[in-house]
């Protein structure tokens, strides 16, 4: 075989292999897109149901959500280059936020990262976002003058923030987490002020 023929045959063989690999990855990528959209949708439904007090509905949707998350994790496991993408991490972060919100409000506990079965980064991202969801809950509780309950969830917010701020690592290791810590700091302080303002208003109302 001449040199040009050898070059051509080697190139075609390699390109055939590349085509097979990329075709499979493209198929997996399309499936990832579908699954992440469904995970985001179901996560939103869990959070909404918990806020509305529809705990049975939230539990039912959460079970379906966990099933979709496991499908995603199984799908991306052999594909490291797809597993650690923003798309996958973002949807897993949404799942973490929803699952943690349900566990804190309904079960009065915090489900662990091991129980969730997700990588570190989406766990931390979801934990950071949980602070904002708890802030929404506190506002609703204060609107119902349930100050004691609001203070209980403020303490949870403070605990999460204090834990996250101890993670002094570069953004390359925990992308997006430092920003969420900064946001959590503002939310905790604003919520603390809001609760104090509500208590003062109620005190003035009763004195009148």
pLDDT-derived band at 1, boundaries 50, 70, 90:
low
7 pLDDT higher than 90: no
- Architecture label for domain 119-208: Up-down Bundle (1.20)
Q: Let me know if the fold of 1-114 is the same as that of 119-208.
A: yes
Estimate to the nearest angstrom the gap between the alpha carbon of 47 and the chain centroid.
11
Q: Count Cβ atoms within 10 A of the Cβ of residue 61 and give its class: 0-12 exposed, 13-18 middle, 19 or more buried.
A: buried
pLDDT-derived band at 85, boundaries 50, 70, 90:
confident
CATH of the domain spanning 1-114: 1.20.58.2140
Q: What is the CA radius of gyration of the chain?
A: 23
DSSP the chain: --HHHHHHHHHHHHHHHHHHHHHHHHHHHHHHHHHHHHHHHHHHHHHHHHHHT-HHHHHHHHHHHHHHHHHHHHHHTT-HHHHTSHHHHHHHHHHHHHHHHHHHHTSSS---HHHHT--HHHHHHHHHHHHHHHHHHHHHHHHTT-HHHHHHHHHHHHHHHHHHTT----TTTSTTHHHHHHHHHHHHHHHHHHHHHHHHHHHHHHH-
Q: Each residue of 30-82: pLDDT tens digit?
A: 999 999 999 999 999 999 999 999 999 999 999 999 999 999 999 998 888 88
Q: Each residue of 125-160: pLDDT tens digit?
A: 999 999 999 999 999 999 999 999 999 999 999 999
The full set of domain ranges for the chain reads 1-114, 119-208
Q: What is the pTM of this model?
A: 0.89
Cβ atoms of 198 and 140 within 8 Å: the answer is no
Least confident of 9-13, 94-98, 100-104, 145-149: 9-13
Q: Each residue of 187-204: pLDDT tens digit?
A: 999 999 999 999 887 777
Comparing CA positions, the residue from 137, 120, 161 lying closest to residue 112 is 120
């Amino acid at each position: 075989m001449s040199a040009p023929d050898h070059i051509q045959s080697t190139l075609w063989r390699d390109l055939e292999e590349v085509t097979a690999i990329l075709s499979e990855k493209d198929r997996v990528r399309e499936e990832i897109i579908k699954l992440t959209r469904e995970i985001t949708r179901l996560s939103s439904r869990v959070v909404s149901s918990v806020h509305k007090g529809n705990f049975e509905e939230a539990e039912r949707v959460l079970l379906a959500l966990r099933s979709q998350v496991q499908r995603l994790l199984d799908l991306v496991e052999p594909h490291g280059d797809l597993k650690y993408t923003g798309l996958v991490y973002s949807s897993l972060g949404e799942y973490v936020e929803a699952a943690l919100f349900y566990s804190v409000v309904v079960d009065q506990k915090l489900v662990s990262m091991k129980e969730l079965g997700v990588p570190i980064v989406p766990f931390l991202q979801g934990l950071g976002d949980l602070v904002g969801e708890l802030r929404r809950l506190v506002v609703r509780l204060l609107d119902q003058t349930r100050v004691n309950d609001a203070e209980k969830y403020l303490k949870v917010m403070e605990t999460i923030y204090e834990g996250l701020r101890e993670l002094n690592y570069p953004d390359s290791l925990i992308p997006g987490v430092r920003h969420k810590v900064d946001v959590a700091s503002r939310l905790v302080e604003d919520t603390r002020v809001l609760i104090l303002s509500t208590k003062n208003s109620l005190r003035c109302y009763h004195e009148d």
